[in-house]
Structures are given as structure tokens and as C-alpha cells.
Structure 1
Amino acid sequence: MEKAARRARRLDAQDPLAPFVDRFAPVPDGQVFLNGGSLGRLPAATPALLDRVVRGDWGDRLARARTQWLDLPQRVGNRMAAVALGARPGEVVVSDCTSVNLYKLTVAALDARPGRRTVVVDDDNFPTDRYVVAGVAAGHGRALRTVHTDPDAGLDLETLRAAVDEDTAVVVLSLVSHRSGALLDMAEVHEIAHAQGALVLWDLSHAVGAVDLQLAATGADLAVGATYKHLMAGPGCPALLYVRRDLQSQAVQPVHGWYGHREQLAMRPEYDPDPTIRRFLTGTPPALSVVAAEPALDLLAEAGMAAVRAKSRALTGFLTELAGAVLVPRGLRPAGPADPERRGAHVTYRHPQAGKLVPALAEAELFVDYTHPDRVRLSPAPLSTRYADVVEAVRRFREVLTAFDPPPYRKGAGVPEAAVDPYGRAL
């Protein structure tokens, strides 16, 4: 590992994004954090900003501060659009959670494509997405067509092409698989769906803030996404919601509320949706959580998403190279695309005792993630992870793996039930 450590030091010295590491709250001594795909690191500027908002805007101005937050979901949405989404002003708001936004936009998509009876989803999509879409389809008398996806390689687009027809209203997919990290070709998916007159609704949760997205340039229709992962907005921050400008007048979301009313403060007796992106809002936003999204957007804007994506590819490439040499011979097996261009910002491996392995890694102060039933997910964050951190992570991983001495991993072999969950709690 010493040769790898020397190489990491050279890469860190040459890395144009290396100074950004110091603009995050420090990781506690001795810990290595490779779990940015679950919760992004805390930008160092966030606590001071929240303190200023709490003491100044709320504490000093009291109820007068309320009016300055009325357009907060649109203001922060516009910032996300410009920095991380490649979208235009007036196409993004920050509101609710990803699941609620997915519900709102799935219903809106069906309304925008009347007469079409089919909703397409894939079986490797995030479970909540599948639950929401299945519920909407059942509640609106639509057929749900589920496409099989290879859990390691991702969705085959020819399989998708065969599943989408003139009866398809909307295709609901994750751009980056939460398990394997497989990255879809957004433009090609749009071509497949739009050729049949269908809409595409993306879940960008594992892509936004790590992948250089260009929603406007690729003709994206609808999208949602978590903001607490690679956008580093913090736990509890509402999700993003994107609707292409020309679709907004056709799509009326089902959860009517005063924030989406054309005359928000007039308190009219009847609901009249605002003609802009504001129609997709419902109730009062959690202002402190939305404000907390801004410091990370400043960092991403300064770095530039093209550079962030390049660093992400380099980090995951370095990680897979070291893991291939050190960890795979000890029983770990790749469970995602080998090509950095075809994966997002995380790398996944299979191990028959993954449910025990992840808490054991935490005991060694290496923090990664577990996905059922047998996968370990590592997410080096481009702005806050050094190449030296990757080397140290692989070193600790190797030490923990040697203690397991698992039987050879066989394709199709049963996966033992874990005695503990990924956080060390007894099952």
C-alpha cells in the first residue's frame, strides 16, 4: 500500500479541487468517510449562515422575516438549476421530500398525457419510487409495466425501447442506480420515450451534485431529487422538483395548497393554480433547511460541475483499481459498471456477509453503506475526499476483510442472514 500512498500524495498535490477539502467541517480524528451518497459532508459555512438566519432574520425581525421567505423555494431552486442541473430559471423549486414530489409529478404527468394507460418503471429503481408509482397507477386506473434491470450493469436501453409504446404516459427511472451506481444515458432515454409521445420523470437523487447534468440541453421533462446527498444540503432539506417550462401549464399537481395558488396571500375560496413553477408548491417550506442548501451550492458553483464530475470519475477509478488489486482477492466482488463513464459517484461490491461487514468497517472507523442483501457501497465525495483517504479506506477494508475469511463467493449462492443491521443493532 505504500506505493499507492505515494501515488495518492502526488494526485492530491496535483488536484485543482484539493483546497475545497478544507472548506468542510473536519471529520473527527481517525475517521474515514466514504458515504457521501447517503449524506453529504457539512460545509464549514453552513453553521454560521444558519445562526445568522435564526438570530437575525427570525430572532430580530420576528414575523416580518416571514415575507422574505415566501419565494425561498423558487430562489434556491433557481440557484440549483443554474449550478447543478443545467436548467433554466423558473423550472426548479425546493419543496417536500423526494417521495412526495415524485407522487405530485407522476400524477401531473398522467394528466398531461390523457388517454394513455401505461406507466413504465424498472425493477431496480429505488423502492420508494416503485411504491409511489405503483400506488399512483393503481389509484388512477393505469397499468404498471415493470422492466427488468440487471442489478450490476444497469438498465439495457433496448429493453426499455421495447417496453415503451404509444400507450405509455410516463417512464419513471433513476438516472444513477442507488445500488450499482449504473448511470443511464439521459439523452437516449429521452429519445426513446419522446419518439412514442411519452414523458420521462427522473429521480436524480444519486446524480445531482456529482454528475454534470444538462436538463435543458437534453430536453428533460420532469425530475425530482434528494438534496442531502451530493448537494450537501443537510438532513431534512426538502427535495428538488423540476418541470420543463412549456409543460408547466399542462401539469397540475394533485396536492393543492396556498403556496401554489395564483394569489398566494389573497386567501380566495377556490383553488387557482399559479401559472409558473410555483404551482407545484403546497405548503410553507422549512426555511432553515432550504437556506442550508446554499453554502454547498456556492462550493459547487465555484468548482464547476465539469470539474466535479472529472474528480468523481478519477476517485472512483482510483478506488476500483486499488480494490481490484487488494480487496477482490479477499472475497469482494464488483457489483457495478467497470467503465467510469457509465457509473455515478459511488462504487458497489458484493460480499456474502455484507450485513456484518459494514458495521465491522464502522468499528474500524471507516464509514461506508450497506444495501440489501449483500452489497457494500462506497461514495467518495469529489469536493471533500482526498486520494489519500481512498488509500486509507482500502487499507482498513483489507484489515477487516482478513478477519472474516469468508467462503469463496459463488454466483447464485445463498446470502447468510446478517446478525446485525448496517448500524450494528441486533436484528
Structure 2
Amino acid sequence: MKHYNISRHNSFYAVGLSYKKADAEIRGRFSLDVPAIDSLLITAKRQGIDGLMVISTCNRTELYGFAQHPFQLIKLLCDHTQGTIEAFQDVAYVYKNHEAISHIFRVGTGLDSQILGDFEIISQIKQSFYRSKKHDMANPFIERLCNSVIQASKRIKNETALSSGATSVAFASVQYILKNVPDVSNKEILLFGTGKIGRNTCENLIKHTENKHITLINRTRAKAEEVAGKFHLVVKEYGDLQTEIRKTDLLVVATGAQLPTVSKALIHTDRPLLILDLSVPKNVSDDVKELPNVTVVHLDQLSQITDETLQRRKKFVPKAEAIIEDIKHDFIKWLETRKFAPVINALKAKLNTMKEEELRFHAKKLDDYNPEQAEIITDRIIQKITRQFANHLRKTEVDTQDSLQLIQEVFQLEINTNE
């Protein structure tokens, strides 16, 4: 495998953990909110890391960046979360260079999602990129890579039906309710948390259950009222949570809190209560399961629901993979060109210097000297020489680094590293 790192000393790594090996509790320990991501990026910049992007969703936490050794990135992650190196090693993955590039393409196009074809991840990748850019941690490599992943995602959406049909965490939760809650349209439903998943769940509940008894509670009342206004729902104060739980048949928890917000002490009810916890980290304490009339279902159980929609989607995976390979090939070509561009530019500059010397010499010697003609001929020769070198460097069987070194030595080139 060829190396695709920009510098000779650093490699590009993807380090992280996902739903595949880490359960919700472990993922919760390694999850990062926005202030923690900002703090991590500031620390990385101070440590001299050139280029880093952080993704933290309910299904994964990942760092994409440049380092001499992946441990630099792993330590950054552990230092800014509740996770430990030992816990990380048990469930983690580390990809380097080409494998890291392939991984972010699969993640960004929904092929690595817990629910196949769930495209919400692409907006999270965009946000992660803008956050890195804000902290001056998005180098040209990361910028070009993100744009390529976004391009692949768009093409897969337009050219395949990988994302067809309603399948997401929000949809899966409603599917679960429809299958397991009899007479759902007459049940009292309480939605706690009105973030993206909460809003989507609310929309799906209204669409598929025809329930008119949905109440919203959010820490910030204004946000709850915004969602409630759209669907004509009831909003209650955060302080009423305990009272409202007592009256409800179904509690959907979708807050973005880093610690559990629903504990055993909060629940005093004689009626059967189903709780769906759609949050990572978990927002419902484990001790709630001890209550005799309460059933708790977490996001991970919901995401295992497979229906005809998912089976249909699987048919489009080969086409999606072909699109990824196509765009990834262009990215790798750009990367290789970027690697040798400074040397080719320096070679061109050196040949132009030689050309100027020769033209000045012949201008003095020849009586019928034609400067325009001489300029055209010599420029064409320089173009052909540099193109020959560039074509040689693009060949897969060529050791690019050795060839670049040889060109520099033969022509005694001074390289401008800022190019």
C-alpha cells in the first residue's frame, strides 16, 4: 500500500469507537459535547497537531487527524472524556492513511451507520469540519477530504435508493411503539427533550399514531414551545417532570445531557410505564429497571429493528461502494499531485532560469535572433520536460519519495514548502 500522508513524519489516522463493539454505556463515557470538542481542538493545536476533526454522535466518537503515533490522538480523547485508555483499547479501532480515508467515506455515506443508509451523519461531519476550521485545525487535506465525502453522499442519495423509505432512530422507536403498545392513539405520551432526535420522534409519533395526548418538556421551555407550536401540542415546565411522569403511559427521553436525567426516585406510578431512552450517554438510570411496572428500552435495542426497508436498502450497497471508489480515486490523485507539486514547480522555475540565461546569451550572438519565436519554443520544451516528470511520479509502481529526492539532487532545487 502506498502512503498517503502529507508529510514524511506524520500519518493520517482515524481513531474511535462505535456501536459495533461499544455499548451505549461505554459510548457515553467517550462522548463529547460542543465545549469538550472545542477544548480538545485547542489542546491539539497547542500540542502542534496539524489538522484534526472530531465527530461525536449517539453511535460513535471519532478523531480524524495527523500524528506521529495514534496514541497522541487516543490520549487527547481520553483526557477530554470520562473514558480510560484501557476501556478504549477494548472496543476501539485505529485506521491509518488509506484505511482511515476509506473509513470516513463509509461513515459519511451511511454505510457504517447503525441503521444502514442513515444520512444524518453527513450533517454532523459538516459541523465537525466547521468547528475544526474555526480553531484553524482544518488543513487543506481535511478540507478536501470532507468535500469529497460530502460529494459521495450527495451522489449516493441522487443515484441510488440507499436512503429510501423512512428508517432512522426516530422511526425505529415509533415502529417499536406501534408493535408493542396496544391502543396507542389513546395513550398518554410524554416527550422529554426536543433536540433533533426528539423533534423527529415527535413528528413520527404524530404521523403514525394519530395520538392527540402528547406533552413536551424541555429544560429550555422556549425550545419545547417552538416544536409544540408546529404540532399544536401541550408544553409543561421542567419542574413538572415528576408529576407528568405519574400521568403518562409512554415516556420518550431524548435529551442531550451528559448525565442521567431520569432516575428511580423520579418515578412514582401505579400504571404500566414504557420508557424509550434515545440518548447517548444514557439519560435513564439503570436503577429504573428495578421498578416492577416499568419497561426501559434503549436506543441500541431499537436500532436492531430490521424491516423490509432495510432489506431493500442492502441491494444498493454495491452501487454506493462503486461511487465511493470513484470519488476516493479522485481524492487520492489530488493528494499524490499535491505531494509532488512543490518539486515540479521548483523544477519549472529552475528550467526557466536556465532558459533566460540561454536566451540572453543567444540574443547577443545571433544577428537574426527572434525573441518571440525563441520564447515559444523554449516554453514548449520546458512544458514537455515537466510533464514527463509529473507522469513518471504518478505511476503506481514508482517510489514517489525516492524519485522526488533524486530530482531535487540532480537539479539542485530549492523547495518552497508553503506551496
Q: Is the helix fraction higher in 1 or 2?
A: 2
Query: Which TM-score applies when normalising by structure 1?
Result: 0.30
Q: Of the two structures, which has the highest relative contact order with CA contacts closer than 8 Å and spacing of 6 or more?
A: 1
Query: Which TM-score applies when normalising by structure 2?
Result: 0.30
